[in-house]
Amino acid sequence: MSRYIRQYISTCNLCIRTKLIRQAPVGKLHPLWIPDSQWNMLSMDFVVELPLSSGHNAVMTVVDLVLKQAHFILTLL
């Protein structure tokens, strides 16, 4: 019975048109900021819990968001 009701509601034209929208209203779209020069906007992340090698057990990655150029720095955490 519940399967029949669910199938009827999903195909009923009136039910589809009067269904409430459960999402927040979408605001105005804004363009993303484009950096002026290289190395002006960076992202940084750590790769941790690596096996100990040469006294280091983590890698810090720094990425330039304009050039997509990455630098990997060995660290000990």
Quickly count: other Cβ atoms within 10 Å of residue 17's Cβ.
Answer: 7
At CA 41, angle to CA 35 and CA 46, rounded to 5?
A: 155
Residue 44: phi, psi to the nearest 5? -135, 140
Is residue 20 one of the residues assigned to a domain? no
Is residue 23 included in any domain, yes or no? no
Is position 6 within any domain? no
Residue 3 has a pLDDT of 86
pLDDT tens track for 16-62: 777 777 888 888 998 988 888 888 889 999 999 999 998 999 999 99
29 in any annotated domain: no
Domain coverage including residue 74:
39-77
Residue of 4 and 48 predicted with greater confidence: 48
Number of folded domains that form the chain = 1
Strands of 58-64's sheet, edge to edge? 42-47, 58-64, 70-75
Q: Is the pLDDT reported for residue 69 higher than 90?
A: yes
Distance, CA of 39 to CA of 28 (rounded, Å): 29
